[in-house]
Amino acid sequence: MTDDANRLRVAIVGASGYTGAELVRLLVCHPAARVVALTADRKAGNTLDAVFPHLAGAGGEGALPPLVAVDNVDWEGIDIAFFGLPHGASQPVIAALPPQVKAIDLSPDFRFADPAVYSEWYGLPHQSPALQAEAVYGLTELMRDRVKAARIIACPGCYPTSSLLPLIPLVEAGLIEADEVIIDAKSGVSGAGRAAKEGSLYAEVAEGIHAYGVASHRHAPEIEQGLSLAAGRAIKVNFTPHLMPMNRGILSSIYVRLAKGASADDLRATLATRYQGEPFVKVLAAGTVPATRHVRGSNQCRIGVFADRLPGRAILLSVIDNLVKGASGQAVQNMNVVCGLPETMGLAQAPIFP
């Protein structure tokens, strides 16, 4: 436990949203961090427990500051700022930060190395293209060395996290045909955020499942960026997300063609070697099926590898909690890395079951 004066002073921008609430839940138990600023937009002026009753008393009675508008944050007193804002909102705020503040952005605003790709898919001009070159894509296990030295960390999207952790090592090893990957992914509804939307209503989601963003979802170019870097050439993927009647969790079922001479066992062995000693990525034994309920509330990604009955093909199953490893947990993991803290600090919770 670090004494109070030496703790990192943390701001959570967008604390009245789902990823913001999850950051608070994790950070009030983090022994080297202290939450000193919380922001909101429409809900500014409220206490956090008025917006999220489950966080009443979190961190100790009166430990958390009230929700203020982002313009009212005193940045001089901040070491780390997390941004859980809708796309387009963090770029101008991060661009105006004083240099001692490290920014950890959960939104897509700094994920694309090429600002033109961001503009094309998000329908907005990039507002800080000069800063983009400074930003590091924070898929922690695979980008750790770059994260260590970063001032702006762009946390990956939830679907890309679940897809790229199994796929990048296999593409790098040349064990799969990188341009024939099919990702069939399912997400819980918290992935859509807390803002009221017709598509998130109970009656639109319960007792059913539907695909959305078919052949047009914004996470396709993000996954393609990661796979193209790994392959050393331009890669396109087939990515279809589905909305599931559950709160948390992502299951990505990924269908791959094996490279000549490779087997599903080779894929499993390569992933097991790559993630050996990684506290948050578990490659499961042959025959073990991962489930979203096995990672709920935790920062884990669990990966299963299966031979397909179709010759020359394999199936990868990857599960995460979208709000933890897919967002706020990975963001805290990146804070630990960039601040030289043990990577598991504040993140060692076992999953919640059932």
Ligand X SMILES: CC(=O)N[C@@H](CCC(=O)OP(=O)(O)O)C(=O)O
Ligand Y SMILES: NC(=O)C1=CN([C@@H]2O[C@H](COP(=O)(O)OP(=O)(O)OC[C@H]3O[C@@H](n4cnc5c(N)ncnc54)[C@H](OP(=O)(O)O)[C@@H]3O)[C@@H](O)[C@H]2O)C=CC1
Give the residue numbers annotated as catalytic, written as ranges.
Answer: 158
Reduce the DSSP state of residue 304 to 3 states and report it.
Answer: strand
- Tokens 């299963």, located at residue: 304
Reduce the DSSP state of residue 239 to 3 states and report it.
Answer: strand
**Assigned token pair, 256:** 């791959």
Q: Among residues 186 and 268, whose Cβ is nearest to ligand Y? A: 186
Does 151 contact ligand X by CB under 6 A? no
Helices (H), the chain: 18-27, 48-51, 90-95, 115-122, 129-132, 140-148, 158-172, 202-205, 219-231, 264-274, 329-338
Q: Out of 241, 297, 329, 346, point to the residue binding ligand X (CB under 6 A).
A: 241
Backbone angles phi, psi at 267, to 5 degrees: -60, -45
Residues sharing a CB contact under 8 Å with residue 48, sequence separation 6 or more, in sequence order = 15, 16, 24, 38, 55, 58, 64, 66, 67
Q: Out of 8, 14, 152, 283, point to the residue binding ligand Y (CB under 6 A).
A: 14
Longest dimension (CA), the chain: 62
Footprint (CB under 6 A) of ligand Y, residues 131-160: 157-158
Does 329 contact ligand Y by CB under 6 A? no
Does 192 contact ligand X by CB under 6 A? yes
Number of Cβ atoms within 10 Å of the Cβ of 182 = 15
Shortest distance, position 268 Cβ to ligand X, whole Å = 27
DSSP 7: S
Name the amino acid, one letter, at 113.
Answer: A
Residues that bind ligand Y (rule: CB under 6 A) add up to a total of 30
Does 84 contact ligand X by CB under 6 A? no
Q: Out of 14, 157, 169, 290, point to the residue binding ligand X (CB under 6 A).
A: 157
Which region, judged by CB under 6 A, interacts with ligand Y, from 1-9, 174-182, 187-195, 335-343?
187-195
264-274 and 158-172 are packed helices; what angle lies between their axes, rounded to 10 degrees?
110
Q: Out of 84, 221, 241, 329, point to the residue binding ligand Y (CB under 6 A).
A: 84
Distance between CA atoms of 140 and 36, rounded to whole angstroms?
Answer: 25
Which region, judged by CB under 6 A, interacts with ligand Y, from 79-87, 130-138, 307-315, 346-354?
79-87
Q: Among residues 157 and 329, whose Cβ is nearest to ligand X? A: 157
Residues at the contact surface with ligand Y, assessed by CB under 6 A = 14-20, 40-43, 70, 84-87, 89, 106-107, 157-158, 190-191, 193-195, 322-323, 326-327
Residues at the contact surface with ligand X, assessed by CB under 6 A = 87, 107-108, 157-158, 187, 191-192, 218-219, 241, 243
